[in-house]
A = this chain, B = another copy of it.
Amino acid sequence: MTTTPFLPTLRELTSAYQAFEAYSAVHIRTLDLTPAQFDIIATLGNTPGMPFKELGEKTLITKGTLTGVVDRLTDKKLVQRVASLSDGRSQTVQLTPQGVALFERIFPDHLAHLQRAFVELPPDELVNLEKSLHHLREALVSARNNIKATS
């Protein structure tokens, strides 16, 4: 059985992601936010807020950790908890007016910051990259589900 070498691809995936993280963090740190906190702000931006559970699923932060991250953002007056009307167990997390202001101030800057890295990449390569990454993710997720189903 022949094996296509996938290890170099995984190495590039890791390097590219880490380069993105490092580059992104340059800007995020100037805002006095951690990457996790920025992730929450960016996820809540342009939404009316969302339940804890959904926020955790979108940011891949587990509920126990999320409580702490949201606490810290609450201390900074950037987000707030609102009791859900429909479910007494549920809390909606939303940006405060200060949080909205921060989001609106920093997100365009963040995009501009990122865009500087992309100006030289050929558009068609960008599109292909997006598709291939999507396939790769699907393959990884389905392999993971196979394991879960088996064990």
Chain A interface residues toward B at CB < 8 A? 3-4, 6-10, 12-20, 22-23, 26, 60, 111, 114-118, 120-121, 123, 125-126, 128-130, 132-137, 139-144, 146-147
Name the residue of chain B whose CB is nearest to the CB of A142. Answer: B117
Name the residue of chain B whose CB is nearest to the CB of A151. Answer: B26
Shortest 3 CB-CB contacts between residues of A and residues of B = A117-B143, A12-B133, A17-B17
Interface SS of A by simple majority: helix
Which residues of B lie under 8 Å from residue A111 when comparing CB positions?
A: 7
Q: How far is the CA of A147 from the CA of B25 in the complex (A)?
A: 13
Q: How far is the CA of A18 from the CA of B15 in the complex (A)?
A: 13
Say yes or no: A13 contacts B133, CB within 8 Å: yes
Say yes or no: B19 contacts A137, CB within 8 Å: yes
Say yes or no: B4 contacts A13, CB within 8 Å: no
Given contacts A126-B4, A132-B125, contact A137 B26 (CB under 8 A): no
Say yes or no: A129 contacts B9, CB within 8 Å: yes
Say yes or no: A117 contacts B129, CB within 8 Å: no
Given contacts A14-B17, A60-B18, A135-B121, contact A9 B140 (CB under 8 A): no
Say yes or no: A9 contacts B132, CB within 8 Å: no
Q: How far is the CA of A129 from the CA of B130 in the complex (A)?
A: 9
Which residues of B lie under 8 Å from residue A135 when comparing CB positions?
A: 121, 125
Which residues of B lie under 8 Å from residue A117 when comparing CB positions?
A: 139-140, 142-144
